[in-house]
Amino acid sequence: MFSGRGFPESEYELRVEKAQDLMRKRGLDGLLCTTHPDIYYFTGFLTRFWESPTRPWFLVVPQAGKPIAVIPKIGEALMRTTWIDEIRTWSSPDLKDDGVTLLADTLKERIGSGKVGLPSGHETHLRMPISDFENLKQLLSGITIANDAEILRTLRMVKSPAEIEKIKRACGIAHHAFSRVQEFAYPGTQLSLVFRKFQMVCLEEGADWVPYLAGGSDKFGYADVISPAGDAELQNGDVLMLDTGLTWDGYFCDYDRNFSIGAPDQIVVDAHKTLIEATQAGFEAVKPGAAARVLFEAMDRVLTGGKGGNENGRLGHGLGIQLTEWPSLIPSDETELQAGMVLTLEPGIGTKNGNMLVHEENIVVTQSGAEYLSTPADEKIVRV
Amino acid sequence: MFSGRGFPESEYELRVEKAQDLMRKRGLDGLLCTTHPDIYYFTGFLTRFWESPTRPWFLVVPQAGKPIAVIPKIGEALMRTTWIDEIRTWSSPDLKDDGVTLLADTLKERIGSGKVGLPSGHETHLRMPISDFENLKQLLSGITIANDAEILRTLRMVKSPAEIEKIKRACGIAHHAFSRVQEFAYPGTQLSLVFRKFQMVCLEEGADWVPYLAGGSDKFGYADVISPAGDAELQNGDVLMLDTGLTWDGYFCDYDRNFSIGAPDQIVVDAHKTLIEATQAGFEAVKPGAAARVLFEAMDRVLTGGKGGNENGRLGHGLGIQLTEWPSLIPSDETELQAGMVLTLEPGIGTKNGNMLVHEENIVVTQSGAEYLSTPADEKIVRV
């Protein structure tokens, strides 16, 4: 098992071969990638510089041959460290032509008069100015830009053993961090300080970055699961929830833990127990060939008796290079589970005063069922 | 001076009034925002949940009246804590219609048969699936979607006193973190560990998040300024550079520091001194009414004798809610400087073996010139 940073070149070759096979089957002559996850997937180009929205970045994956990077000069040295051979650069930002002509020329040269697939559907976006995209289409005489026929989704959804190792490592780092929450969470501590300390222990335990942390703290849970921390202090009897997406070598974990500050109310005790039962029901429903919705249904039976869930929409999702990826564990998602898919199981339950508890674990689909990547929590809520 | 978290409601009212004034002048009946920076700017809605690409988020700013949020149900509780009154939600993800009809109905109701501005130019992107955007345009009978006539850029480029306070606070946190680099950077330390430790001290000193950190370490500098850390160990005689974009209450600092591991080579000593001189030349060139390119020219005279810079493209940029914002300090940027603009001065210089040194400070344009927001570095490189 390859478990260091990066991937062997053979892994990138395999990813591109699979993409090219799907292009042939789905009638595309190339792919155009513009986002960090898609470009990292094919090249290994890893940087936090995506935080800067100034410059667009492009990768052309033709139906034959290696991908071609069309990128700002500032990224050339880093791209040269990857397996990509052909790197075309321009001095960006260029207020008149920020790589559009260079990209159009590259597409015309490599695709000729064909059809280029651009990820266009659910959970995608185009990371270049819309006005530049309109200019690009005008320059592309003979080339059609169509959707990517879900090729990126199809490929990225199923993880390789080396990708799973990275996610597992991220999960392990979060596990160690969660086990240290008692070091800094007690009555009188500001939630904002808890957030900062938790990020620090994530880093100390080995995280490269902590791109995501949400949570809350209140009696009987919290009103939502996406808020940043305020300066309110933890109170005895609160439920503290921390939900982290930390990364190792570009791969995320995404799971949470609930803690009772002092003795928990019976409502909280029961809610937490139900969430663990729901998670386990979801876990047991996993098998290759089943639809994603089946996991929703298994968890929802425990949570609501099968009423179809709540308005927050889903009880889990894929993860990998992104904090959230396909599929969604919702009643309408018919995506067929396959071995190698990495998922979160994320049941939630209302408690009292408009608050709720949410629990989350990370799993990988195997040939026969599933394995936990996070160390599953006990049904008894942890008291700090 | 308001210096706590958030902003008084009057600040949001003023932002919207200014936007509406510009809409009238530039012939728009409303604005459509889809990204974190634009939505945070008008609402104060602050969450790291943008890390998840699954759900689209919309804000409609009509030419009269308050903005209307059209957002996934999962964000309702947090949006209710802002000054926004009208919040329309749907249960997302919805694989058939992920908010598109709700957004179209809202636009038709509030804009009628008018023209909606969407940020479309340099440094923008549309954060929704392209296929959904095509569907939206089809649903909008009578409404035209045009570019936003640079309204968002115009507004966000000039910071209020309260915004400047937040950036200054972020700069101060980074200053304290940089002053502690000697605690953990010495020969034999892996660069990846230096990165983790530096993020930890940023958090310890008060950062909410550390969304951006790049850097490098090698003899005579580094080959680029966007790479993540590898596991190579610091060596005596290396130049270590750390460039951080940490945030406080949603506002970034963005500056770097160079350190010599042991005694610096004379080439490094001289390069660092030149960079500080270039920075100071840029600083002294700042005055309201001058073009952004004038700062480039002032720094470039020190760096190259006025040859027009290098291929990395620019010697500084705006910052605020984003790590990098308008304008760009490049020869072609004619943006007129105004009091309240926050900028980085970021000169770079080649040294030896293809390596370089880059120095960066953060400043604010005042009525008469500029003030440093970062504590400016000494011309003598810090030895650790």
- The answer on pLDDT for B1 being more than 70 is no
Please choose, from the candidates B272, B238, B298, B271, the residue with its C-alpha nearest in 3D space to the C-alpha of residue B377: B272
pLDDT digits (tens, 9 = 90+) for B105-125: 999 999 988 999 999 999 999
Question: How far apart (Å, rounded) are the C-alpha atoms in residues B328 and B28?
Answer: 26
Subunit contact A228:B330, Cβ cutoff 8 A? no
Q: Chain A contacts of B232, Cβ < 8 Å?
A: none
The amino acid at A355: N
Q: Is B236 on the interface with A (CB under 8 A)?
A: no
Please give the pLDDT value at position A1. 54
- Neighbouring C-beta atoms of residue B183, cutoff 10 Å: 11
Q: Chain A contacts of B76, Cβ < 8 Å?
A: 224
Q: Which residues contact A338 (CB under 8 A, 6 or more apart)?
A: A157, A158, A288, A365
**Among B residues 248-287, those touching chain A with beta carbons less than 8 Å apart:** none
- The answer on pLDDT for A324 being more than 90 is yes
**Measured between alpha carbons, how far apart are the two ends of chain B, in Å?**
38
pLDDT digits (tens, 9 = 90+) for B260-296: 999 999 999 999 999 999 999 999 999 999 999 999 9
Per the CB < 8 A criterion, the answer to whether A186 and A222 are in contact is no
Question: How far apart (Å, rounded) are the C-alpha atoms in residues B263 and A304?
Answer: 67
% of chain B residues with pLDDT over 90: 94
Q: What is the per-residue DSSP string for B61-101?
A: EESSS--EEEEEGGGHHHHHTSS--EEEEE-S--SS-SSHH
- Of the two residues B311 and B277, the one the predictor is more confident about is B277
Mean pLDDT score of chain B: 96
Please choose, from the candidates B160, B152, B81, B99, the residue with its C-alpha nearest in 3D space to the C-alpha of residue B123: B152
Q: How far is CA A87 from CA A90, A95, A106, A278, in A?
A: 10, 21, 11, 49
Per the CB < 8 A criterion, the answer to whether B148 and B109 are in contact is no
Cα of A173 to nearest chain B Cα, Å? 13
- In this structure, what are the phi and psi dihedrals at residue A348, rounded to the nearest 5 degrees? -130, 155
Please choose, from the candidates A378, A358, A355, the residue with its C-alpha nearest in 3D space to the C-alpha of residue A280: A378
Per the CB < 8 A criterion, the answer to whether A162 and A1 are in contact is yes
Question: How far apart (Å, rounded) are the C-alpha atoms in residues A310 and A304?
Answer: 9
Question: How far apart (Å, rounded) are the C-alpha atoms in residues B208 and B45?
Answer: 15
For tokens 């490049």, the residue is B330
Cα of A267 to nearest chain B Cα, Å? 22
ipTM above 0.90, yes or no: yes
Q: Is B223 on the interface with A (CB under 8 A)?
A: yes
Please choose, from the candidates B71, B7, B90, B247, the residue with its C-alpha nearest in 3D space to the C-alpha of residue B79: B71
pLDDT digits (tens, 9 = 90+) for A222-281: 998 998 898 899 999 999 999 999 999 999 999 999 999 999 999 999 999 999 999 999
Please give the pLDDT value at position A309. 78
pTM given for the model:
0.97
Subunit contact A227:B130, Cβ cutoff 8 A? no
Subunit contact B52:A224, Cβ cutoff 8 A? no
Count of H-run helices and E-run strands, chain A: 10, 18
Residue B325: closest C-alpha in chain A = A54
* Beta bridge partners of residue B348, listed in sequence order: B358
Subunit contact B131:A120, Cβ cutoff 8 A? yes
Q: Is B203 on the interface with A (CB under 8 A)?
A: yes
Q: Chain B contacts of A207, Cβ < 8 Å?
A: 196
Q: Chain B contacts of A324, Cβ < 8 Å?
A: 52-54
Please give the pLDDT value at position A137. 97
Model confidence band, residue B311 (pLDDT cutoffs 50, 70, 90): low
**Among A residues 140-179, those touching chain B with beta carbons less than 8 Å apart:** 147
Instruction: Give which of B35, B196, B248, B346 to mutate to test A binding, by max A Cβ within 10 Å.
Output: B196
- Neighbouring C-beta atoms of residue A9, cutoff 10 Å: 11
Please give the pLDDT value at position B283. 98
Based on its alpha-carbon atoms, the radius of gyration of chain B, rounded to whole angstroms, reads 22
Subunit contact A147:B124, Cβ cutoff 8 A? no
Subunit contact B313:A200, Cβ cutoff 8 A? no
Subunit contact B208:A214, Cβ cutoff 8 A? no
Q: Is A108 on the interface with B (CB under 8 A)?
A: no
pLDDT digits (tens, 9 = 90+) for B126-158: 999 999 999 999 999 889 999 999 999 999 999
**Among B residues 9-38, those touching chain A with beta carbons less than 8 Å apart:** none
Cα of B339 to nearest chain A Cα, Å? 22
Residue B196: closest C-alpha in chain A = A203
Question: How far apart (Å, rounded) are the C-alpha atoms in residues B67 and B352?
Answer: 54
Per the CB < 8 A criterion, the answer to whether B28 and B148 are in contact is yes
Residue A135: closest C-alpha in chain B = B121
% of chain B residues with pLDDT over 70: 98
Please give the pLDDT value at position A247. 98
Q: Chain A contacts of B131, Cβ < 8 Å?
A: 120-121, 147
Count of H-run helices and E-run strands, chain B: 10, 18
Please give the pLDDT value at position A210. 97
pLDDT digits (tens, 9 = 90+) for A126-156: 999 999 999 999 999 889 999 999 999 999 9
Among B93, B214, B313, the residue with its CB nearest the CB of A92 is B313
Model confidence band, residue B312 (pLDDT cutoffs 50, 70, 90): low
Per-residue pLDDT, averaged over A311-340, amounts to 94
pLDDT digits (tens, 9 = 90+) for B325-341: 999 999 999 999 999 99
Cα of B11 to nearest chain A Cα, Å? 20
Q: Chain B contacts of A33, Cβ < 8 Å?
A: none
Instruction: Give which of A133, A241, A311 to mutate to test B binding, by max B Cβ within 10 Å.
Output: A311
Per-residue pLDDT, averaged over A323-343, amounts to 97
Subunit contact A125:B120, Cβ cutoff 8 A? no
Q: Which residues contact B105 (CB under 8 A, 6 or more apart)?
A: none
Q: Is A376 on the interface with B (CB under 8 A)?
A: no
Question: How far apart (Å, rounded) are the C-alpha atoms in residues A295 and A284?
Answer: 9
Q: Is A1 on the interface with B (CB under 8 A)?
A: no
Q: Which residues contact A355 (CB under 8 A, 6 or more apart)?
A: A218, A219, A220, A221, A222, A223
Question: How far apart (Å, rounded) are the C-alpha atoms in residues B14 and B354?
Answer: 49
Subunit contact A211:B48, Cβ cutoff 8 A? yes
Subunit contact A77:B211, Cβ cutoff 8 A? no
Q: Measured at the alpha carbon of residue A176, what is the angle toward residues A172 and A179, in degrees to the nearest 5?
A: 135
Among A48, A89, A123, the residue with its CB nearest the CB of B228 is A48
CA atoms within 13 A on the CB side of B337: 29
Please give the pLDDT value at position B19. 98
Q: Is A50 helix (H, G, I), strand (E, B) or coil?
A: helix
Model confidence band, residue B343 (pLDDT cutoffs 50, 70, 90): very high
Q: Is B300 on the interface with A (CB under 8 A)?
A: no
Model confidence band, residue B308 (pLDDT cutoffs 50, 70, 90): confident
Please choose, from the candidates B335, B229, B238, the residue with its C-alpha nearest in 3D space to the C-alpha of residue B288: B335
Q: Is B226 on the interface with A (CB under 8 A)?
A: yes
Cα of A366 to nearest chain B Cα, Å? 25
Model confidence band, residue B313 (pLDDT cutoffs 50, 70, 90): confident
Subunit contact A91:B313, Cβ cutoff 8 A? yes
Please give the pLDDT value at position A230. 86
Q: Chain B contacts of A191, Cβ < 8 Å?
A: none
Q: How many contacts (CB atoms, under 8 Å) link A and B?
A: 223
Please give the pLDDT value at position B230. 86
Residue B245, token pair as written in the block: 């974009």
Q: How many residues does chain A have?
A: 384
Subunit contact B51:A231, Cβ cutoff 8 A? no
Model confidence band, residue B2 (pLDDT cutoffs 50, 70, 90): low
Subunit contact A130:B131, Cβ cutoff 8 A? no
Please give the pLDDT value at position A81. 96
- The answer on pLDDT for A70 being more than 60 is yes
Q: Chain A contacts of B206, Cβ < 8 Å?
A: 196
Q: How far is CA B69 from CA A296, A375, B84, in A?
A: 29, 38, 7
- The answer on pLDDT for A203 being more than 80 is yes
Residue B19, token pair as written in the block: 């936007």
Q: Is A69 on the interface with B (CB under 8 A)?
A: no
- Of the two residues B67 and B309, the one the predictor is more confident about is B67
Q: Chain A contacts of B54, Cβ < 8 Å?
A: 122-123, 317, 324, 328
- The answer on pLDDT for A311 being more than 80 is no
